Amino acid sequence: MTANAAETLPNSPEFTVSELSSALKRTVEDAYGHVRVRGEISGFKGPVASGHVYFGLKDEGAKIDAVIWKGVFGRMKFKPQEGLEVIATGKLTTYPGSSKYQIVIEAIEPAGVGALMALIEERKKKLAAEGLFDEARKQLLPWLPEVIGVVTSPTGAVIRDILHRLEDRFPRRVLVWPVRVQGEGSAEQIAAAIHGFNALPEGGKIPRPDLLIVARGGGSLEDLWSFNEEIVVRAAAESMIPLISAVGHETDITLIDFAADKRAPTPTAAAEMAVPVRAELAVEISSLARRSFASWQRSQESRRGDLRSASRALPKAQDLLSIPRQRLDRAAAALPRALRANAHIYDRRLSAVAGRLTVTTLKMQIERSRERVQRLADAAQRCGKFSIEHRRTRLSHIGQLLAALSYKGVLSRGFALVRDEEGHPLHAAADIGPGAALSIEFADGRVDAITQSDRAAPAPKPKSVTKRTTDFGVKKVQGDLF
């Protein structure tokens, strides 16, 4: 140590270890308050018991400790994995307990194509397991939609290609929902557009599309990443309007392609899938019309021949009506005689019934009815007497039971019932105070009384002892059970 250093040391401020650690912590956090670090995840073992996550970020020459707090880790869409190259965003700080610096991560994203492909495969397996890619969920495209909704950028070449292709094939009304197709917030805008088209009411001021096209031009995997986001895939799977995905070129595959009802290799191909060719359709309709008319002519000619053949085989009208006419004449001739015979039969039946209906017969019928009524009245009287007697006996038994259970029976044996001035029964002397008004009920009446001042309670009697003699002549002493 030099003389100059020795002279300056007494003037230097002294720090405790905690003060120095705090000063270093403030210096690091002020200088590196918000950083983005690229590195490979090392030592990742998942959340600890507290829910926090600890691992390291390394490259060829260095390694830094990293921590993700429990709340931040739960909100992360992309979860860290061992060996995955990522870009971590957070703030740099120190850990005084071990004199180390570390990064507190607030957001994390994969870095490089390999990491993105691994994330796509992981997300694809997850969504497929939920059934979002099942063929049974997919809807058929409308053959000729009236309104087509397009979700894409309003300034790109994609919307122009779609409109030109629709104009060439079959012009339809197109509604464009402008969105960002890449960058931050683009996935949320695409999902909101799909939900927005589905939320339009049928018959509203803005027509509800019959078909949706989600389109974007070609680009790198990072450029097309918005169409791999879970929010977009779920929105496409939940769409009640049939949806065509037309993202990138033919070789570009995104997760929305698996959830859509139909995948088009290009936006132009999506327009071709959406509508048929009007000229070809007109030719086909004309051909079908000619074939239909020729078929109708052949059918009419065949039916005309069948009608002529059938008309030649039919008998004449006079031949068909001759026999029914004869039957009618015969029935008309026999009708007067049959009416007279029928009236004569009913007259004889009426006379026979009138002969049996005499005064004696009516009297006998009335007498039988009177006897039956009398029998029923006698039976009813007997039943009434039996019922009254049965209830009288039952009432007598109940009265005897009530008398046996009544406290008045106890009073008749010499006991008395003591009540307070409100009429409540008293069960113990401790419940009665001096000067209290009492009502004492005996078997033959009630007596009112007023208690005097307290007197000393008599001393308890000693328990009696009973001497018993056993069978062997030895006396035993046993206390009284009571």
Q: What are phi and psi of 377, to 5 degrees?
A: -65, -40
pLDDT on residue 467: 40
pLDDT on residue 221: 80
Residue 379 reports pLDDT greater than 70: yes
pLDDT on residue 453: 61
Comparing 145-154, 261-270, 351-360, 443-452, the range with the smallest average pLDDT is: 351-360
pLDDT on residue 159: 93
Which residues face 262 on adjacent strands?
Answer: 244
List, for residues 220-237, the tens digit of each pLDDT value. 887 888 899 999 999 999
Place of tokens 């069948």: 306
List, for residues 256-303, the tens digit of each pLDDT value. 999 999 999 999 999 999 999 888 888 889 999 999 999 999 999 999
Pull the structure tokens for residue 411: 């009073």
Pull the structure tokens for residue 360: 């004696």
Round to whole Å and give the CA distance between 376 and 382. Answer: 10
| DSSP string over 220-255 | -TTTTGGGGSHHHHHHHHH-SS-EEEEESSTT---H
Residue 114 reports pLDDT greater than 80: no
Place of tokens 């006698």: 378
- Give residue limits of the domains in the chain: 15-111, 120-280, 417-450
Q: Highest-confidence range of 381-395, 434-448, 457-471, by mean pLDDT?
A: 381-395
Round to whole Å and give the CA distance between 163 and 173. Answer: 10
Residue 378 reports pLDDT greater than 60: yes
CB–CB of 234/133 below 8 Å?
no
Give this prediction's pTM: 0.47
3-state class of 175 per DSSP?
strand
Residue 481 reports pLDDT greater than 70: no
| Range 86-89, long-range pairs (CB < 8 A, 24+ positions) | 86/38, 86/39, 86/40, 86/41, 86/57, 86/110, 86/111, 86/115, 87/36, 87/37, 87/38, 87/111, 88/36, 88/37, 88/38, 88/39, 88/57, 89/34, 89/35, 89/36
List, for residues 301-350, the tens digit of each pLDDT value. 999 999 988 888 887 777 788 888 888 988 998 999 899 999 999 988 88
List, for residues 117-170, the tens digit of each pLDDT value. 877 888 899 999 999 999 999 999 999 999 999 999 998 889 999 999 999 999
Which residues face 85 on adjacent strands?
Answer: 40
Pull the structure tokens for residue 117: 């492909």
CB–CB of 160/174 below 8 Å?
no
Round to whole Å and give the CA distance between 51 and 70. Answer: 5
Round to whole Å and give the CA distance between 47 and 42. Answer: 14
Residue 78 reports pLDDT greater than 60: yes
Round to whole Å and give the CA distance between 64 and 56. Answer: 6
The H-or-E segment that residue 273 falls in is helix 267-274
CATH architecture of the domain formed by 15-111: Beta Barrel (2.40)
Residue 299, sorted as left (phi over 0), alpha (psi -120 to 50) or beta, turns out to be alpha
Fold of 120-280: Rossmann fold (3.40.50)
